[in-house]
Structure 1
Amino acid sequence: MDRVRGTIAREIERKYEAGDGTSPVRLPDLDGTGPVARVVDRGTDVLDAVYYDTADRCLLAAGITLRRRTGGDAGWHLKLPVAPGVRDEVRAPLADGIPRRLASLVRARTRGAPLVPLARVVSRRDVRHLLDARGTLLAEVSTDSVTAGRPAGEDPGATAAWTEVEVELAPGADPGLLDVLEPRLREAGLCPSGAGSKLARALACETAPEPPPPGPDAGDAARVVLAHLREQAEAVVALDPGARLGTEDAVHQMRVATRRLRSALRTYGGFLEPRATDPLGAELRWLAVELGADRDREVVVERLRHHLDDLPRPLVRGPVRARLRIWSNRSRAETRRRVTDALDSERHLALLDRLDALVTDPPLRPAAVEASGKALVKAVRRDHERLAARIAHALATDPGPVRDAALHDARKAAKRARYAAEAAVPALGKDAKRLAKRLKAVQTVLGDHQDSVLTRNALRLISAQAAVSGEATFTYGLLYGREEARAAEGERALAGVWERVPQW
């Protein structure tokens, strides 16, 4: 029951087990529950899966599972968490070795450590389909009788056995169906499973890995900064598979996380030794640049499509949409290759290792141990003052390319100031939150202006390509003029938006 996007299947499901963990599982009659009009027995299958992970179970710790399964739905399956009860499954055909593509998707987690078989899980699965009045599949309900142990040929170790129920939505089904079904399942003595996956349940009987040692002592302000750095470093790693797969917004969010990290290292550099953080900042800038080309392409294509939709049909002359698709596809091939090459590089792995070292053993300066909220206020104020100077310079510059560059510099300063305020919210509270909100508005105006600059550059290129092919270029000129007008409107609005930013 998958929502398939290319080679990715989106699973939305809930797992249940008997309330006391030992009683037999009895599935209730679900006929007439909400939109369910009929329940069809689809028979029984036996699923035999071997789960792989590193010796320290880094995939399991991240909620990721990798398995090789025979029986029903045979093949290699990599499950990546999206949200509670929602996972993306990437599949590959059945083979003896771990498919290279799946291994690359967890490379940011494994860092070259070998993936080894950790557990064998065999499930006897009874399947029922829930249909509506028209016979449309709504969900699949599976009752799994599970036995788990070590993979064949290894020390048997501890074993476990249990029964669980999975309710998985069919493609296009309303997620609210899960809420409708749950009361009936609870009435039958079932409760939501506490295990995130069968592997987690299988390994629960074994000794858990030792937790990492606690970090160094730090003052309240430094702890806030370190928590922010840990959150963004984890985001870079967590978004790596989606950036490789081209999942919607993954490249953008990964780029944002790298920029937040770099901004924090610069804004709050007084807490950390620059000999350790300066080289890391340079590497974060490299990664943001490599990710940026693909993100910029996404922004331009989305913007042009939207503005084309707004044009009256008589003003769209020539194969404009086809020309945009050609440009987008060619650009995408290049920018996607650039992203993949960067993420596959040893340089990227070295960057991730440096981030790990930063958050597990931060190079704190002595002053960081006693740093208080005043130090955060001072750091945020510096970024605020830098932004004020850049906005004043941009607004005093004559319109044209030089002003465009000055506004782009102001945009980068607005991001840094906003990120600094957001990072300080846990310590500084509503004042920092209010500042961040106002700075976001400034960033939005400046960001729209920069998107207009990028779009006009793309229009010049696309128009030239169309002209070479003998196509009409009127529409490109019209779009270019409208982009110029939008940019000018944003420039006029900037001063008023900036005035609403509170003093700091």
Structure 2
Amino acid sequence: MASSAPHRHLARAVGLPAEPVVAGQRACVAEHVRAGLDTHLRTLIAHDPGTRLGEDPEELHQMRVSVRRMRALLRSARPFLDRSWSEPLRAELGWLGRELGPVRDLDVLLARLRQETADLPGDERAAAARLVTGLKAEYGTARVEMLSALDSDRYLALLRAVVKATQTPTEKSDVDTERALRDLVIGQYRKLRKAVRRLPDDPADEQLHALRIRGKRLRYTAELAQPTLGTPARQLIKATRRFQDVLGEHQDACVAEQRVRELLRDLGDDVDTTVAFVAGRLVERERARRAEHRATWREAWDAVRTAADAI
């Protein structure tokens, strides 16, 4: 993680209190949301300096995950929140996620291609470097746009809005917190289960990607409920993480194959034969990975179903 001095400066600039928000086990759902927002905001701010520096891709990854988790909290707990503030806040978090996304996606793709070509002979590694030249230019442009967003007044206003949400007292509620959180988790699970049941025997890549997104929503909802629901929620989190990983690897393989094809096409008809050979080799590897994860995702789903039945 980058130096804590810029991190502390940003925390002061947006009015983040020194003490974190904590929700007791029997606190109402809105209090759990406040505590979750506070936790993820602190993580986001901690990784802001490293994201700007750009030396370690994990900094941006953690920042983007924090944004996604805050959005998921606000989405999952909508029935228990005042939508006059929660929906605008969720929309602004969506804006920030879109600003961070292109750089993170390119981080993943470039790292994947570097790993895939590391064991190639020298002439083929050089050909691979020529193949990804366009990606590096795209990465530079995306970083400029991302940094512009992070330097904007809109970004600071968003962080201040999250701080305000974490510090606004919630009204007392007679709702049974444990039951309410369990219902939220079960609701997300049923949406995922319905989506799985609607799939054909051989789903399209886009359908599996949509399934992964639903799985992520279930996981984040389970994380919200875990302090109250305990071990059953932890088991569900573990199962959904595995489910996400399998479908995430499938999606990464799909994206990598598509981007390699695009890069080759952009080089034109007179492309060097070695570059074309390397591109074909990369496509072949990604297809094999995609097939591998297609063969295992239903097994991961069975584990999610078993864990959800115990909630």
TM-score (norm 2): 0.86
Residue matched to 2:216: 415
Partner of 2:72: 263
SS in 1 for 2:296: helix
| 1:53 aligned residue | none
Contact 1:391 1:407 in 2 (8 A): no
| Offset at residue 250 of structure 1 (A) | 1.2
| Deviation of 1:485 (Å) | 2.2
Secondary structure class of the residue paired with 2:234: helix
In structure 2, the CA distance between the partners of 1:450 and 1:211, relative to structure 1 (3 Å rule), is closer
Corresponding residue to 1:351 among 140, 158, 171: 158
- Alpha-carbon RMSD across the aligned residues, in angstroms, is 3.0
Q: How far apart are residue 397 of structure 1 and its match? A: 6.4
Identity %: 33
Matched, 1:493 2:301: no
Q: Shift in Å at residue 482 of structure 1?
A: 2.0
Tell me which of 225, 230, 239 is aligned to 2:38: 230
2:229 matches 1:425: no
Alignment partner, residue 342 of structure 1: 149
CA distance in structure 2 between the partners assigned to 1:306 and 1:237 by the alignment: 30
1:327 aligns with 2:134: yes
After the TM superposition, which residues 44-443 of structure 1 pair with which residues of structure 2 at under 5 Å, given as runs? 64=5, 106-107=9-10, 109-111=12-14, 220-222=27-29, 223-248=31-56, 249-310=58-119, 313=121, 317=124, 319-362=126-169, 364=170, 367=173, 370-393=175-198, 395-396=199-200, 398-399=202-203, 403-443=204-244
Measured in 2, the distance between the counterparts of 1:231 and 1:325 equals 37
For structure 1, list consecutive stretches of 5 or more residues without a partner in the other structure.
Answer: 1-7, 11-62, 65-77, 82-105, 114-209
Alpha-carbon separation, structure 1, partners of 2:196 and 2:249 = 15
Per the TM alignment, residue 320 of structure 1 is displaced from its structure 2 partner at its CA by 2.4
Partners of 2:26 and 2:178 within 8 A in 1: no
Cα pair 1:387 1:414 within 8 Å, conserved: yes
Q: C-alpha separation between the residues in 1 aligned to 2:207 and 2:196?
A: 8
Alpha-carbon distance between aligned partners in 2 of 1:318 and 1:346, rounded to the nearest angstrom? 43
Secondary structure in 1 aligned to 2:272?
Answer: coil
CA contact (8 A) 2:32 2:224 kept: yes
Read off the aligned partner of 1:381 and give its amino acid letter: I
Amino acid in structure 1 at the alignment position of 2:54: G
CA-CA distance at 1:225 after TM superposition: 3.0
Mapped contact 1:380–1:421 kept (Cα < 8 A):
yes
Return closer, same or farther for 1:216/1:107 CA change in 2, 3 Å cut-off. Answer: closer
CA distance in 2, matches of 1:372, 1:107: 34
| Matching residue within 463, 472, 476 for 2:279 | 476
Q: 1:195-223 deviations in whole A, cap 9, x for unaligned?
A: xxxxxxxxxxxxxxx989x9999952433
TM-aligned CA deviation for residue 351 of structure 1:
0.9
Q: CA deviation at 1:233?
A: 1.6
Structure 1 segments, 4+ long, off by >3 Å, are 106-109, 214-219, 316-319, 364-367, 465-469
Is 1:457–2:258 an aligned residue pair?
A: yes
Q: Distance in 2 between matches of 1:307 and 1:328?
A: 15
CA contact under 8 A between 1:243 and 1:250: conserved in structure 2? yes
Write out per-residue CA displacement over residues 395-425 of structure 1, whole angstroms, 9 at most, x where no aligned residue. Answer: 41655xxx22211111111111111112222
The answer (yes or no) to whether the contact 2:51–2:59 under 8 Å persists in 1 is yes
Letter in 2 for 1:349: L
Query: What is the rounded CA distance, in whole Å, between the counterparts of 2:168 and 2:208 in structure 1?
Result: 38
Q: Cα offset for 1:325?
A: 5.0
Is the CA contact (8 Å cut-off) linking 1:323 and 1:462 kept in structure 2? no
Q: Per-residue CA shift, 1:456-490, capped at 9, x if unaligned?
A: 22202221233456322122122112212211221
Read off the aligned partner of 1:435 and give its amino acid letter. L
Higher relative contact order (CA 8 A, sep 6+): 2
Given the superposition, is the C-alpha separation of residues 371 and 269 from structure 1 closer, same or farther in structure 2, using an over 3 Å criterion?
farther
| Amino acid across the alignment from 1:384 | Y
- 2:23, 2:35 within 8 Å by CA — same for their partners in 1? no
Q: Provide closer, same or farther for how the CA distance between residues 346 and 108 of structure 1 changes in structure 2, counting only shifts above 3 A.
A: farther
Residue type of the alignment partner of 1:373: E
Q: How many residues align?
A: 301
Letter in 1 for 2:214: A
Q: Is the 8 A contact 2:132 2:263 kept in 1?
A: no
